[in-house]
Amino acid sequence: MSAPRRALLVIDVQNAYFSGPLRIAHPPVSESLPNLVRAIDAAHAHGVPVVVIQHTTVVDAPVFAEGSDGWALHPQVAARPREHHVLKARPSAFAGTDLAAWLAARDIDTVTVVGYMTHNCNASSVFEAFHRGLRVEVLADASGALAYANAAGQASAEEIHRVFSVVFHSNFAAVVSTEAWIAALQAGQTLQPYNVLSSHQRARGDTASPTPTVVRSRDFTGTRAWEALPIARLDGVGVRLHWTDQPYVWHVNDGQEIFAVLDGRVRMHWRRHGTEQTALLETGDVFHAPEGTEHVAHPQGAARILVIEREGSL
């Protein structure tokens, strides 16, 4: 698969969500805004166009009235460069705007969504982008939600943010952290969501096989690491030692593998059950890849990696 042609959609990062009755509650803006700014800066550093989207209403509206302080972009977004600026009057960034045409003219095939609110303008934009045939990514720690209560019931900001994120990742969008997204930018990798079936299977606890495991060096001493991992129960074990600064190639192992970082740092990427994840391994950390896991190791400079595998693994 070729590297995705991304655009970063910065949705409604406006002052109304930082003070007053619509202040974002979860994740708090003290956490989401720094991640959002990191995403903007990373996008510029990797040639990803940034589209700033701003909600606007009539001048006498209670919120987002054009020209009001609540309507204005947050200073940290306003101060940064952007490739396009979209004014919208409906929740979706596509409704009544030139966004779809602007993306198509630049052959963009993937949009990354950050901003506010998870369950309103972000969700509307995610669903419409998906139905327009775009791949969609959502940075969960660079967006946020409010609590609601009405005739249908009530839900906390945490519940709304979490449930919408789960629904997105079940089919519509790959939901990842800002750190994982930046790593994907650096590697030119595509991020994939789960699907409806695999999401439901995991909820019922009947997935076909175990998931990859990272064991941190601080969590064990001596041989306890090996006793805690399935490698201890495998027959026909082989050992390879690598000293390298070059990434491995993506591959699906047909056995089970253990990666132990003896020196240096390694960023491990893996794909399983329709999603892609990443973790930064430090000296002493261990990564277990069950059979069928597609994975690649990216040393962060020179690193010494011990690979323990069942005979027959790739």
Q: What is the pLDDT of residues 28-76, one digit of tens each?
A: 999 999 999 999 999 999 999 999 999 999 777 788 999 999 999 999 9
Share above pLDDT 70 across residues of the chain, in percent, rounded to a whole number: 80
pTM recorded for the entire structure? 0.68
How many Å apart are CA 123 and CA 138, to the nearest integer?
A: 10
Contact 286, 229 (CB under 8 A): yes
pLDDT in tens, 9-29: 999 999 999 998 999 999 999
Owner of token pair 């693994």: 313
CA distance 250 to 71: 46
Q: What domains can you pick out in the chain, each with its CATH number?
A: 6-200 (3.40.50.850), 217-310 (2.60.120.10)
- What's the start-to-end Cα distance of the chain, in Å? 21
SS percent in the chain: helix, strand, coil, step 5: 30, 30, 40
Q: Are 253 and 212 in contact (CB under 8 A)?
A: no
Residue of 172, 57, 51 whose CA lies nearest to 100: 51
Pairing of strands 303-310, 275-281: unpaired
Position 294 scores a pLDDT of 79
Comparing 217-226, 249-258, 305-314, which segment has the lowest mean pLDDT?
A: 217-226
